[in-house]
Amino acid sequence: MITLRKSCDRGHADHGWLKSFHSFSFADYVDARHMGWGNLRVINEDRIAPGTGFGTHGHRDMEILSVVLEGELAHRDSIGAHGHGGVVRAGEVQRMSAGRGVRHSEYNHAHDGVTHFLQIWIVPDEAGIEPSYEQKRFDDADRRGRLRPIASRDGRDGSLRLHADATVYAGLFDGAEAAELALAPARLGYVHLVRGELDVNGHALRGGDALLLADEPRVSIAGGREAEVLVFDLAA
């Protein structure tokens, strides 16, 4: 079974300083048909205006990925005696395991432009773990014409290590570039096209569109036109 979810069908919030699209129910956007897919709970596409951001707030028992597409995302958290801070730049991905509880803030660190990023939540295998962060850069050349793991439960191929039964792949596709990803029985697939155009399992996607896959043996990617894509292999 394959379900196409168009970009325009996502939830949307415009707070002035923050413009956000919600692939699944989040905050004031509630849709009982879209509460998540397997253990994937949130994909928010956020744009934060210069000089603004999310004030200190709390999370617990969630694996949270921040994928920065443009600009710089600064954060500070409650981990450690003096806290922990850093900047996630375009091309970098940060994993935060909220575990038994962490408080943090996130701000646009690019003073002269909007910071555009994806915030992804995945339900962990176990509650109450020690909170932690991990951050890595994944160069364009490493994602060109292939699906490169950027987060996984076993941290394979240098990916970020998730405390969840999920693997997240990233790829860049244009022209004749193509790739396939096999899905084991009883696994779910989710494809989020970040930008550009792409043909996935015979469906034409444009930026912001998604495919939800159940009982499908593979994800087949071709026909990219300046496409950037994330593919999720998920527990049901």
Residue-wise pLDDT tens digits, 123-179? 999 999 999 989 999 999 999 999 999 999 999 999 999 999 999 999 999 999 999
- When pLDDT is averaged across residues 41-52 and rounded to a whole number, the result is 95
Is the distance from CB of 128 to CB of 61 less than 8 angstroms? yes
CA distance 166 to 152: 6
Burial 95-120 (b: 16+ CB within 10 A, else e): bbbbbeebbbbbbbbbeeeebbbbbb
Residue-wise pLDDT tens digits, 50-108? 988 888 888 899 999 999 999 999 888 777 544 456 889 999 999 999 888 888 888 89
Domain ranges of the chain: 2-235
Q: pTM, whole model, 2 decimals?
A: 0.94
Q: Name the least confident of 29-38, 73-82, 180-189, 217-226.
A: 73-82
- CATH fold, domain 2-235, is Jelly Rolls (2.60.120)
Q: What is the pLDDT of residue 85?
A: 61
| Two tokens, residue 83 | 């806290």
Q: What is the 3-state secondary structure (H, E, C) of 39-53?
A: CEEEEEEEEECCCCE
Q: What percent of the chain has pLDDT over 70?
A: 97
pLDDT score of 224 more than 80: yes
Q: What is the pLDDT of residue 82?
A: 40
User: Which of the 8 DSSP states describes residue 60?
Assistant: -
Write the DSSP string, 132-149: EEEEEE--HHHHBTS-EE
**192 compared with 56, residue with greater pLDDT:** 192
CA distance 235 to 57: 28
pLDDT score of 236 more than 90: no
Helix (DSSP H) and strand (DSSP E) numbers for the chain: 1, 20
Q: What is the pLDDT of residue 214?
A: 96
Q: What is the pLDDT of residue 141?
A: 95
CA distance 120 to 18: 17
Q: What is the pLDDT of residue 84?
A: 53
> How many C-beta atoms lie closer than 10 Å to residue 132's C-beta?
15
Closest alpha carbon to 131 in 104, 106, 151:
104
Q: What is the pLDDT of residue 81?
A: 41
Q: Which amino acid is at 22?
A: H
Enumerate long-range contacts of 57-60, CB under 8 Å, 24 or more apart: 57/103, 57/104, 57/105, 58/101, 58/102, 58/103, 59/96, 59/98, 59/101, 59/102, 59/103, 59/104, 60/98, 60/99, 60/100, 60/101, 60/102
What values do phi and psi take at 161, rounded to 5? Answer: -95, 120
